[in-house]
Amino acid sequence: MAIDMKPYTIILFYFALISLLSNFRVSMIINAAAANITVVDLIPRDLLLNSSLTPTDRVRNSLLRSVRRAKFLAAGASNFSRRELAAAATTDIVYDSSEYFMKFSVGTPPVEFLAKVDTGTDLTWIQCTPCTNCYHQTQPLFDRRRSSSYRHVPYNSRTCTSSVDSPGLVKYSRGSDDRCGYLIGYGDGATSAGEIAAERLTVGQLSVPEIIFGCGHDNRGEFSEGSAGMVGLAGGSLSLINQLGSSIRGKFAYCLPEASFHAEPDLGNLSFGGGVSGRRVVSTPLVRKAESPYYYLTLEGITVGNRRLNWGSSSRSSDGEGNIVIDTGTTTSRLPAELYRQVAAAVERQVKLKKKRDPQEFLSDCFEVKTSDDYEKLPTMVFHFRGGDVKLRNYNGFVETGRRTACLAFMADTYNLPIYGTLAQGNFIVGYDLERMTVSFKRSRCSSEW
């Protein structure tokens, strides 16, 4: 007999499921000697929202979000004015840029929420009452009147005026009592508007008495109903990472499970305060750029099978410093057009399988795979970052887009912003150290079944 589960029942079920899995899983390998390490689950959106989707459905949705995401990152802060954002706030635009959710609590007493995790944006915000225009949310909206730790931020305060480096963010005077209002727009037109406030935030065992966040009262766009808002993990001053500051010593790490050849999505995890340790750790310099909160790495080349392809004629010169963004919201990796053509040509020369057309019509270089042996014929690839090499497995470089069809999980960059996407990061612990300015990679199984 089929069970009819209402949306709020499904959310409660998954909260319980996540807690149960957490008790029986092995945490990611982190520096256990460090203080204040907090590890939380990262929940793939399709596991949470629609478990009935087929693997093909999930791939199609993910690729579509990846295309929109690249446009969002490329848009940047300079493309928005307050008037343009206000105009955008009157139109509903589909926006679904992030693949993973995390659980955290806000307020006193604490109220638990799920929200999207995003390394490409700074401001953390959730939907609040009273709501002028909010997208449908399965969880109850946050009611600031019931929290004893909620504090308004004045418009003329340093907190309101000093944080100006978030892409698409405009701040303004709100209401008769001159509160700090915000309006944030994303590259595809979605917006959130409300007030900047200070509030207690709890993640796992880590509780911080005053985090600056957005209390959203007017949020436009088809956001996922399982999400209460956005958790900003980029590098700007409003980022949750920078606000946690000394409590996590500028460190965070995540481990995303393999996704491309699996029939079912799986949980990943996110560590605040943890780094990557042990043998076979590859570290590369983290590059920051003026007026950009994104995390940039320096890619010097890619090896396909036994053929190395350099990025440019002088790949080790300083001219190419910080030439690719590492991101948790973009599924496929995006390469400069010339490098992409070279990689695709090298793959085609080395793969002895029949070529096919991508049934999703997103990717260009696809092959027929009938057996497990055919998957083994797909070449391994190595990304040569400055300071170290990251070796990818076939599921990092290829994605199954349909029955018996595996496609190269790279696309040509059309926005002048190359991106190192999540498929390439699957089954790696990826650790960020903002004090030493490094990003480190270590091969690890990230599945909750391990």
Which residues belong to the active site? 118, 327
Secondary structure class of 338 (helix, strand, coil)? helix
Query: Which pair of structure tokens corresponds to residue 428?
Result: 């790696």
Cβ(450)–Cβ(26) below 8 Å: yes
Segment holding 428, helix H or strand E: strand 428-433
List C-alpha distances in Å: 162 to 159, 167, 170, 180, 236. Answer: 6, 14, 12, 12, 11
Cβ(248)–Cβ(272) below 8 Å: yes
Closest-CA residue to 428 (of 284, 273, 233, 258): 258
Number of H helices, E strands in the chain: 10, 29
How far is the C-alpha of 343 from the C-alpha of 304, rounded, in Å? 7
Q: Are strands 151-152 and 169-174 parallel, antiparallel or unpaired?
A: unpaired
Secondary structure class of 417 (helix, strand, coil)? coil
Closest-CA residue to 250 (of 272, 228, 280, 278): 272
Question: What phi, psi does 162 have (nearest 5°)?
Answer: -85, -20
Q: Is 325 exposed, middle or buried (0-12, 13-18, 19+ CB in 10 A)?
A: buried
Query: Which pair of structure tokens corresponds to residue 134?
Result: 């909010």
DSSP state of 235: S
Please count the other Cβ atoms lying within 10 Å of the Cβ belonging to residue 356.
17
Secondary structure class of 61 (helix, strand, coil)? helix
Secondary structure class of 28 (helix, strand, coil)? coil
Cβ(399)–Cβ(367) below 8 Å: no
Query: Which pair of structure tokens corresponds to residue 399?
Result: 């994605």
User: How far does Cα 75 stand from its chain's mean position?
Assistant: 17
